[in-house]
Amino acid sequence: MRFSALFAPTTKEIPKDALLKSHRYMLQGGYLQQMGSGLYHFLPLGHKVLSKIRALIKEVMDSYGAQECTLGFVVPASLWQESGRFEQYGKELLSFLDRKNNPCVLSPTHEEAITQIIKAHVKSYKQLPLNLYQTHTKFRDEIRPRFGLMRAREFVMKDAYSFHASTECLDREFERMHAAYSEIFTKLGLDFRAVEADSGAIGGSKSKEFVVLAECGEDSVIVCQNCAYAANIEIAKRAKRVEPDNVPKAHFAKFHTPNTPTIEKLSAFFKVPPYFLMKAVIKKARLHEGARPVVFFLRGDDQLEETKALNAFNRSTQQNALELEEMSAKEIAQLGLPVGYIGAYGIKHLVPDIEVIFDIDLQEADCLICGANEVDQHFVGVDLSSFANLNYQDIAQTRPEDACPECQGALSAQRSIEVGHIFKLGNKYSKSMEATYLDKEGQTQYFEMGCYGIGVTRLMSAILEQNSDEKGCVWSKASAPFEVVVVVANPKDSALEALGAQIYEELKGAGIDVLLDDRPDRFGAKMADFELIGCSHALIIGKQALEGQVELITRQGLSKRIIAREAIVSTLLEARS
Ligand code: ATP
Ligand code: MG
């Protein structure tokens, strides 16, 4: 490709709303054009990088025996009604009526569509297992589209779905896809981790996320410094906390505690560590119809983890709440509860409908102080072990200062970008959509299912976040738009221009993905574009080239070296490995 013919509208102007370097450089480098909120066009450079990543993913998925297909993007809403997700998925699901008034959805994910295909064609265990995948457009009407391709509304996902006649077979495929994903992200040159994760709206029994560690990430992962434990903070467990000194030993009694509605004030009042104070967090669980109040009790220096709390509520009540909403002080007061002094004693009498959940770290806890459900009053000497049948669940957010649940080792928290997610779905979709096959004994069985997603366009952002410098895009070898750009320092010098063109042809002939910067621009401007666009190397054809010496600059680190004219092809081929 000759740069003079390439449509890559680069600009020095820094886009206003691009907070992340990946977003900024892809706009400035002429990779993308924004069309609307969370909506992007992929220009030739963006398309090229996307195609390289797609091809790499395809190579690995095919090698694991998965078969590529392309599912329809617009799906009849009836399929989503069948699985029960039409109401459950929430506002991210964009639906509309076609001209015949049939409701349709723009697919945010494809479990329903694939289950319908398998239901129609797979009748016997002999046709199993199967793993089908596609790399295709998804639409999610995200509440806060931002950071360019990182959180878009229209984006490209690689989604694979597997079908099995036994849970053992599903378990095996889950591990194989784990291996496939590790291979893909390694080949893409990413520093990544596989972490335990919540299954969210997709559902199922077990899931793992593949995350790229980066400061700008929207997620947090907890990683053990000592063993392999790693989990998204949304579900990360921890060892039982160690009791601090200064235990407030007291007989059970009500205590006048004027003006102590916060943990800070209460801790100062009693001169007791917040560990021994039991705080109440009140939320509203949003149900299909209406909402239900729920109170979570935690140690004073712990924070409620919303995902754990939602899962705990659904587990405890066998309900399917979509989210936990904040309750205003006014709403809490309307329940008859005194904000800042809420405690466990008698709360069910005050609010019979309320669900009460205690954090697991409070199990058997004594010497606690908690609200007395009266303004300016607390109970001291509270011993939870004297109560039977309290509902203990893991609802507190794991903190870096907590200990590893597996080995008691030290933990750390790191920001991360989710680039992939693999799920064991079991028979969630096959049951709701009545998708069955006949087993060896001729019995009707529901399919066991797994699903495996990769955010293909988000990967472009993640690669740039992990590699780029202050000058522009730095891609990994496998993702860079060109392996090398041949830059003729002075195109007015016809001997140099002819040599540049000759080297360009030679490189093309050797199967190297090369760009020839033949534009009549200043050398400095061409180098700035090399740094902004981020081809893996630049080969500078300057005066010395006529004497057989060229300069090779590697984009990663911008290191320079002089190589002999004859060694150009071999050096660039070696640089691939
Ligand atoms: P997130 O928690 O970031 O919203 P998710 O858990 O809802 O993502 P999945 O349903 O697991 O996403 O989808 C599979 C993959 O698709 C994710 O791992 C992610 O890489 C990618 N993805 C999801 N939402 C978006 C989005 N809005 N923009 C770009 N990529 C996305
Ligand atoms: Mg996910």
pLDDT digits (tens, 9 = 90+) for 171-221: 999 999 999 999 999 999 999 999 999 887 666 778 999 999 999 999 999
Q: Where are the alpha helices (DSSP H) in 188-305?
A: 263-270
Cis peptide before 491 (omega within 30 of 0): no
- Tokens standing for 118? 């398998």
CA atoms within 13 A on the CB side of 66: 28
**Ligand 1 binding pocket mutation candidate from 421, 422, 452, 460 (most atoms within 8 A of CB):** 421
pTM, two decimals, is 0.92
Q: What is the largest CA-CA distance in the chain?
A: 96
pLDDT tens, residue order, the chain (577 aa): 999 999 999 999 999 989 999 999 999 999 999 999 999 999 999 999 999 999 999 999 999 999 999 999 999 999 999 999 998 888 999 999 999 999 999 999 999 999 999 999 999 999 999 999 999 999 999 999 999 999 999 999 999 999 999 999 999 999 999 999 999 999 999 999 999 998 876 667 789 999 999 999 999 999 999 999 999 999 999 999 999 988 999 999 999 999 999 999 999 999 999 999 999 999 999 998 899 999 999 999 999 999 999 999 999 999 989 899 999 999 999 999 999 999 999 999 999 999 999 999 999 999 999 999 999 999 999 999 988 899 999 999 999 999 999 999 999 999 999 999 999 999 999 999 999 999 999 999 999 999 999 999 999 999 999 999 999 999 999 999 999 999 999 888 999 999 999 999 999 999 999 999 999 999 999 999 999 999 999 999 999 999 999 999 999 999 999 999 999 999 999 999 8
Q: Is the beta carbon of 455 within 6 A of some atom in ligand 1?
A: yes
**In angstroms, what CA-CA distances link 555 with 86, 233, 570?**
47, 35, 18
Distance 140 CA to ligand 1 centre (A): 9
- ∠ CA 144-137-216, nearest 5°, is 40
- Tokens standing for 219? 């997620």
Beta strands (DSSP E) in 79-191 are 94-97, 103-106, 130-139, 154-164
- Indicate the pairing of strand 514-517 with strand 323-326: unpaired
CA 456/CA 137 separation, integer angstroms: 10
Distance 51 CA to ligand 2 centre (A): 23
Tell me the chain's radius of gyration from C-alpha atoms. Answer: 29
Buried b (16+ CB within 10 A) or exposed e, 134-156: bbbebbbbbeebbbbbbbbbbbb
Q: Is the beta carbon of 139 within 6 A of some atom in ligand 1?
A: no
> Which ligand 1 atom minimizes the distance to the CA of 200?
6
Distance 32 CA to ligand 1 centre (A): 20
pLDDT in the model for residue 201: 65
- Tokens standing for 80? 């989503």
| Exposed / middle / buried, residue 261 (Cβ in 10 Å: 0-12, 13-18, 19+) | middle
Distance 454 CA to ligand 2 centre (A): 9
Contacts of residue 32, Cβ cutoff 8 Å, sequence gap at least 6:
26, 40, 41, 42, 43, 46, 148, 149
Residue closest by Cα to atom 26 of ligand 1? 151
Instruction: Spell out the long-range contacts of 264-268 with Cβ–Cβ below 8 A and sequence spacing 24 or more.
Output: 266/300, 266/369, 266/378, 267/300
- Tokens standing for 419? 């680039």
CA atoms within 13 A on the CB side of 258: 0
